[in-house]
Structure 1
């Protein structure tokens, strides 16, 4: 049987490999299946390149730095034609807007990736360059909540949206916990971490308000990964907690998963527009449970009362109660962490993501 000819288009520039591991592993898994002939188009400084080339995958490059680039469209279109590509898989918005347009009039099936809820509108012309692009045959969503949200906006066949969970590999999470000795932590404190690019919707203000509701003698330390300690707004937010000496802004860290591993619990109090949070997946893979708000795919990732706690979004009181519950019952906290690790291993592994993606390819090509 002839192999499926795949062109995957993606863009990455971070030094930290953790943010791109699920995507890279999916592409590599498709290559290793023996059923897919993989070509990757990515930016010249992509951190993906050495991992892909080590597997024998051919990598082509393009800046991929503009949402609408006639140069990029021309390059993608030429590859589709010259290599007789069967499937064009687009992993971000720049790839989608250029790739889907480049495929107009060609035979290749076109698949986009959708990583969060919200920010799509039938009245917004820019949406028709990405998720509402008429050339998309399938949109792989990172969570069922993302799929259901997107279906509200799709025209025509709403089943073009489908869920495939990102796959994580337990072998990625064997490093020692981060060394926190440089921080002024309190003896035997209960360590809480929030790992996020701290945009307002990530809910730092909700966590700070929750801390202000807690007993003043509670022995906790809060680790804010991604929070610039020199940012005035962050400083003001930390004061809002009423326990500023117990809140530590750690800035950007390439060892964010290891910081989570050094914690007792990870918090994600997102107020809206969430997908399937990588930070929670990473913490769970280290056996650290999570308290998350019920937005996007969080409630799919965390089983309330079994692998962690799910609270209503924008509810500091509920968040404070959840933190105090695990603070007061360390054995329950450890049990949640153990169950979380097992669940990630069973339901969010690389193999299930590769298998489901391959089935989608075959289904599209057999129609």
Structure 2
């Protein structure tokens, strides 16, 4: 009998696959009867992925920068595993996984590759131009090289990223635009909110480019006139990212801004959003479409964020939120104060936030669009395709 189709999802952390791509993996299992493999470094969420029935392949991913020797070695090791598995399709998420995964898949003869650019990150932030100029140029060239392969499709989350990389690249017909990773609008939904105290929530990894410091500065300003307001940061240090706060830096931030509650990692984000008054993201990081803002919008929250690529795809100034200049804690505080004293505007913004997510970012729509990309590449393959090799023990 023919083997079921085989697909692997590759990301730089097991946390990302479990929290953001689990619905895709489960739909592949249920609707296509596919064998689903997850490729990622080991970590706390790896057993959870295996408990869902997915096969795990270990991958080495150095997220602290481009090291050609280390990355090529990781690609060669992954290629050996891919030859054993004989995948029908490899779907890579995040830039480093795209680099390693594409090289490994091409070397292993994997016939179909989908690359999902989930944001261009710090490397493409203007403030890091000097530091990242060479690796940024090399990475753009690599992505454009992948467009030449007819068995590859590249998915971007916002038009700015697509234009940045694909302009004058040729074969732009092999690029697709799919907004975000999909939000479960049944899990994240509006509810009656407590009237007091007002709560401002920022959900993010504790990266400096995410504007954590700007949020704290704005909190200190707002606190002077509205001491009852609660300021919360949900997220933890990302030790694998060179732009992360260190434990010592985080402790210094807590001491300097005692009015801000640092909650650490939370698994109850729907509840936190339902208790919140506003969602904030003063990020000057090169976002795809920020997941935290999408979840907050699905929960019916007004949004306040920095005016930047990806962010303005979900925050419409004067419609469902406010956009402020980057790295400007004073402007952020002003926007927050204006909305804190205007409940009718907050209510209108919250309704519009929910509408935008349901109509443009709902999980079902995103999964349908992703499956359409797979089908362009002929996945799943015909049932009479040659039987593939089994994984060696």
TM-score range, shorter chain: 0.7 to 0.9
Provide the residue aligned with 2:188 in structure 1. 173
TM-score of the pair, normalised by structure 2: 0.73
- Asked if residue 149 in structure 1 is aligned to residue 164 in structure 2, the reply is yes
Q: Which of residues 94, 110, 114 in structure 1 aligns to 2:117?
A: 114
What is the alpha-carbon distance in structure 2 between the residues aligned to residue 169 and residue 352 of structure 1?
10
Q: Which of residues 212, 218, 233 in structure 2 aligns to 1:210?
A: 218
Provide the residue aligned with 1:104 in structure 2. 106
In the TM superposition, what are the counterparts of 1:187-336 in structure 2 within 5 Å? 188-214=196-222, 216-218=224-226, 219-226=228-235, 233-234=249-250, 236-237=252-253, 244-336=257-349
- Asked if residue 123 in structure 1 is aligned to residue 134 in structure 2, the reply is yes
| CA-to-aligned-CA distance 1:149-188 (integer Å, 9 cap, x gap) | 3335x84434544321211112333799999xxxxxxx93
What is the alpha-carbon distance in structure 1 between the residues aligned to residue 21 and residue 141 of structure 2?
22
The 3 A distance-change label for structure 1 pair 71 and 221 is closer
Provide the residue aligned with 1:184 in structure 2. none
Provide the residue aligned with 2:382 in structure 1. none
In the TM superposition, what are the counterparts of 1:42-81 in structure 2 within 5 Å? 42-43=40-41, 45=43, 47=45, 50=48, 54=52, 58-65=54-61, 68=71, 70=73, 73-74=76-77, 76-77=79-80, 79-80=82-83
RMSD of aligned residue pairs (Cα, Å): 4.0
Give the conservation status (yes or no) of the 8 Å contact 1:6–1:36.
yes
| CA-to-aligned-CA distance 1:46-67 (integer Å, 9 cap, x gap) | 636645764x6x5143244565
Higher helix fraction (1 or 2): 2
Provide the residue aligned with 1:90 in structure 2. 92
How many residues are aligned here?
349
Could you tell me how far 1:74 is from its partner in structure 2? Answer: 4.8
The 3 A distance-change label for structure 1 pair 23 and 87 is same
What is the alpha-carbon distance in structure 1 between the residues aligned to residue 116 and residue 37 of structure 2?
17
Q: Which of residues 356, 360, 366 in structure 1 aligns to 2:373?
A: 360
- Secondary structure, counterpart of 1:288 in structure 2: coil
**Can you give the 5+ residue segments of structure 2 that lack an aligned partner in the other structure?**
63-69, 125-131, 238-244, 380-393
What is the alpha-carbon distance in structure 2 between the residues aligned to residue 194 and residue 294 of structure 1?
16
- Secondary structure, counterpart of 1:116 in structure 2: coil
- Secondary structure, counterpart of 1:352 in structure 2: helix
TM-score of the pair, normalised by structure 1: 0.77
Could you tell me how far 1:222 is from its partner in structure 2? Answer: 1.1
Give the conservation status (yes or no) of the 8 Å contact 2:82–2:105.
no
- Asked if residue 29 in structure 1 is aligned to residue 27 in structure 2, the reply is yes
